[in-house]
C-alpha cells in the first residue's frame, strides 16, 4: 500500500488534490461535494474587496468552451486539449456572508477535508481589512489571490494587474491573517521566479503557481468579441507545459512549499507537478467539465501507478524530475547517433509525413509506401509525431 498523504502549511492532506477557487467551490454545499468526490481540500471562490464589488454580479452566460464539442465521437470521447474562457471574477458574497459560508463549509466537511478561504483586494488597506475579516472564520488556511486574470478591466488595480505588488501584499496580510497562507501569483509577468523569491523573502509561507492567463475571442461572423464582449480568464489543459516550466524553475529557487495550478486534466498531470516539486496540486477546468468524482478516480489511479513504479509515498516522487531538466544551452546539438526509419509493414502511404518534411527527404514509392533519403533527413522527428499508424521509428545507435 502507498501513502498519498502530504503535509502543507501545517495541515495533513489525505491526498495532494485540491479543488481550485472557482465555480465548483462557490458555496458550502459545492465545497462539500468536492470533498465527497475525493479531493483533499477545497479553496472557496475568492472574496473580493468592496472596491471590486462589481465582480460579485456575473454576466449571463459567462462560459465558453472552445474545441470541446468539436472532438470526434463527442461526448463518448472528449478532447484533452481545449480552452475554457470565462468571466466570473469572485464569490457573490460580501464579507459577512462569505465568513458565514466558510464556517458552514467547515461544519459540513468537518475533518474529512481542508477548507481554504481566498481573498483578493485592491490597495494595502483593503487587503488588511479582508485579512481581518476572514481571520474571524473557521477556515483552515487562506490563499492570497494576487492573480485574477481580468480584474484590471474593472478599473481598479488588483489581480494580475497588481502582481508586482505581491511582496508588499504578503507583508501586509501576514500581520493580519490568523491562519497560514499561500500567495497565488499570475503568470502574466516577464519572469515569475524573481517575484516568487521576493514573496518568500517578504514572509510568504507558501506559493500558488500560477493562475490562468487572460484572453479574448472574436466571432468572425459578427466582427465582435465572442460571449460577453470583454477579456476574460483564458486557459485549459494545453497550458500545463507553461506552468510546469514555472513550477520547476521556482521549486529550485525557494524553500517554501508550492501549490501548482494550471492545465491539470488527469491524474498523470498531478504526478507531473509533484515530480517538478509541487506539494499539492489544484484543479478547476477538469472538475467543471468532468464532475467532482474525477478527483477520487485520480487518487485511485495514482495509487496504482505508485505501486507499480515502487513509490511508497508522495515524498518518493516529489521533485525527482528537477535534476534532469536542462538549460537550452546544455542540450546536445546535432548528435550523429540517431536516425529515422520507416516500418513498411505498418505504412499505409497516407503521405502525412511528406507534407511535413521540410528537407525533401521523404517520398512515396511505387509500392505506395514511404521511403526516406538518409542523406537529406535532418532527424527533426516531425514525421514520427505525425504518423497516424506509428510506422516511423527513431533509431539510436
Catalytic residue among 148, 199, 357, 383: 148
Measured in residues, the chain has a length of 397
> CB under 8 Å to 161, separation ≥6 — which residues?
151, 152
User: So what's the pLDDT on residue 152?
Assistant: 62
> Residue 45: which CATH number?
3.20.20.70
Beta partners for residue 7, in sequence order: 12
Instruction: Say if residue 241 is in the same domain as residue 320.
Output: yes
User: So what's the pLDDT on residue 138?
Assistant: 98
> CB under 8 Å to 218, separation ≥6 — which residues?
224, 225, 226
- CB-CB neighbours of 167 under 10 Å: 20
- Cβ atoms of residues 363 and 371 within 8 Å: yes
> Residue 354: which CATH number?
3.30.70.20
Last residue of a domain, one of 324, 344, 376: 324
Instruction: Say if residue 143 is in the same domain as residue 109.
Output: yes
Give domain status of residue 352, yes or no. Answer: yes
Alpha-carbon distance 227 to 219, whole Å?
Answer: 9
Give domain status of residue 378, yes or no. Answer: yes
H or E element that contains 385: helix 382-386
User: So what's the pLDDT on residue 382?
Assistant: 98
User: So what's the pLDDT on residue 293?
Assistant: 98
- Cβ atoms of residues 327 and 370 within 8 Å: no
User: So what's the pLDDT on residue 120?
Assistant: 94
> CB under 8 Å to 180, separation ≥6 — which residues?
9, 10, 11, 141, 142, 205, 206
User: So what's the pLDDT on residue 163?
Assistant: 79
Set of cell numbers at residue 60: 449571463
Set of cell numbers at residue 110: 468537518
User: So what's the pLDDT on residue 71?
Assistant: 87
- Give, for all 397 residues of the chain, the pLDDT tens digit: 899 999 999 999 999 999 999 999 999 999 999 999 999 999 999 999 999 999 999 999 999 999 999 988 999 998 889 999 999 999 999 999 999 999 999 999 999 999 999 999 999 999 999 999 999 999 999 999 998 766 666 666 666 677 789 999 999 999 999 999 999 999 988 899 999 999 999 999 999 999 999 999 999 999 999 999 999 999 999 999 999 999 999 999 999 999 999 999 999 999 999 999 999 999 999 999 999 999 999 999 999 999 999 999 999 999 999 999 999 999 999 999 999 999 999 999 999 999 999 999 999 999 999 999 999 999 999 999 999 999 999 999 9
Contacts made by residues 21-24, CB under 8 angstroms, sequence distance 24+: 21/45, 21/46, 21/118, 21/143, 21/145, 21/284, 22/88, 22/284, 22/287, 22/288, 23/88, 23/288, 24/284, 24/287, 24/288, 24/292
- Determine whether 36 is exposed, middle or buried from the number of CB atoms within 10 Å of its CB (0-12, 13-18, 19+): middle
Alpha-carbon distance 226 to 77, whole Å?
Answer: 26
User: So what's the pLDDT on residue 155?
Assistant: 60
User: Is 148 tagged catalytic?
Assistant: yes
Instruction: Say if residue 219 is in the same domain as residue 308.
Output: yes
Instruction: Say if residue 286 is in the same domain as residue 349.
Output: no
Instruction: Say if residue 372 is in the same domain as residue 223.
Output: no
Instruction: Say if residue 123 is in the same domain as residue 235.
Output: yes
Alpha-carbon distance 120 to 211, whole Å?
Answer: 13
Terminal Cα distance for the chain, rounded: 40
In the chain, the number of structural domains is: 2
Give domain status of residue 1, yes or no. Answer: no
Q: Domain residues for 176?
A: 6-324
Give domain status of residue 121, yes or no. Answer: yes
Give domain status of residue 218, yes or no. Answer: yes
Instruction: Say if residue 227 is in the same domain as residue 366.
Output: no
Amino acid at each position: 500500500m502507498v501513502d498519498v498523504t502530504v503535509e502543507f502549511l501545517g495541515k495533513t492532506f489525505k491526498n495532494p488534490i485540491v479543488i481550485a477557487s472557482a465555480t465548483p467551490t462557490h458555496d458550502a454545499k459545492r465545497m462539500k461535494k468536492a470533498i465527497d468526490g475525493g479531493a483533499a481540500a477545497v479553496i472557496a471562490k475568492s472574496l473580493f474587496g468592496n472596491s471590486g464589488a462589481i465582480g460579485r454580479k456575473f454576466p449571463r452566460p459567462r462560459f465558453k468552451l472552445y474545441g470541446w464539442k468539436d472532438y470526434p465521437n463527442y461526448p463518448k470521447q472528449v478532447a484533452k486539449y481545449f480552452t475554457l474562457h470565462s468571466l466570473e471574477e469572485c464569490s457573490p458574497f460580501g464579507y459577512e456572508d462569505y465568513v458565514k459560508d466558510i464556517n458552514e463549509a467547515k461544519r459540513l466537511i468537518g475533518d474529512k477535508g481542508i477548507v481554504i478561504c481566498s481573498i483578493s483586494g485592491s490597495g494595502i488597506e483593503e487587503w488588511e481589512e479582508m485579512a481581518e475579516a476572514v481571520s474571524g472564520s473557521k477556515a483552515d488556511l487562506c490563499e492570497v489571490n494576487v492573480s485574477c486574470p481580468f480584474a484590471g478591466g474593472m478599473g481598479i488595480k488588483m489581480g494580475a494587474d497588481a502582481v508586482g505588488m505581491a511582496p508588499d501584499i504578503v507583508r501586509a496580510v501576514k500581520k493580519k491573517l490568523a491562519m497560514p497562507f499561500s500567495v497565488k501569483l499570475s503568470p502574466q509577468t516577464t519572469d515569475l521566479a524573481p517575484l516568487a523569491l521576493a514573496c518568500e523573502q517578504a514572509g510568504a509561507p507558501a506559493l500558488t503557481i500560477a493562475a490562468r492567463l487572460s484572453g479574448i475571442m472574436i466571432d468572425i461572423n459578427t466582427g465582435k468579441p465572442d460571449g460577453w464582449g470583454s477579456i476574460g480568464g483564458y486557459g485549459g489543459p494545453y497550458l500545463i507545459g507553461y506552468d510546469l516550466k514555472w513550477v520547476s524553475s521556482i521549486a529550485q529557487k525557494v524553500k517554501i512549499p508550492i501549490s501548482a495550478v494550471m492545465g491539470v486534466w488527469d491524474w498523470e498531470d498531478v504526478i507531473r507537478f509533484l515530480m517538478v516539486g509541487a506539494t499539492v496540486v489544484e484543479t478547476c477546468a477538469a472538475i467543471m467539465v468532468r464532475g467532482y468524482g474525477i478527483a477520487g478516480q485520480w487518487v485511485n489511479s495514482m495509487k496504482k501507478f505508485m505501486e507499480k513504479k515502487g513509490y511508497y509515498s508522495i515524498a518518493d516522487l516529489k521533485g525527482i524530475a528537477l535534476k534532469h531538466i536542462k538549460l537550452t544551452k546544455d542540450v546536445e546539438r546535432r548528435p550523429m547517433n540517431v536516425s529515422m526509419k520507416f516500418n513498411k509493414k505498418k505504412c499505409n502511404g497516407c503521405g502525412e509525413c511528406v507534407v511535413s518534411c521540410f528537407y525533401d527527404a521523404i517520398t512515396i514509392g511505387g509500392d505506395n509506401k514511404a521511403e526516406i533519403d538518409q542523406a537529406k533527413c535532418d532527424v527533426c522527428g516531425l514525421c514520427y509525431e505525425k504518423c497516424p499508424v506509428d510506422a516511423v521509428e527513431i533509431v539510436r545507435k
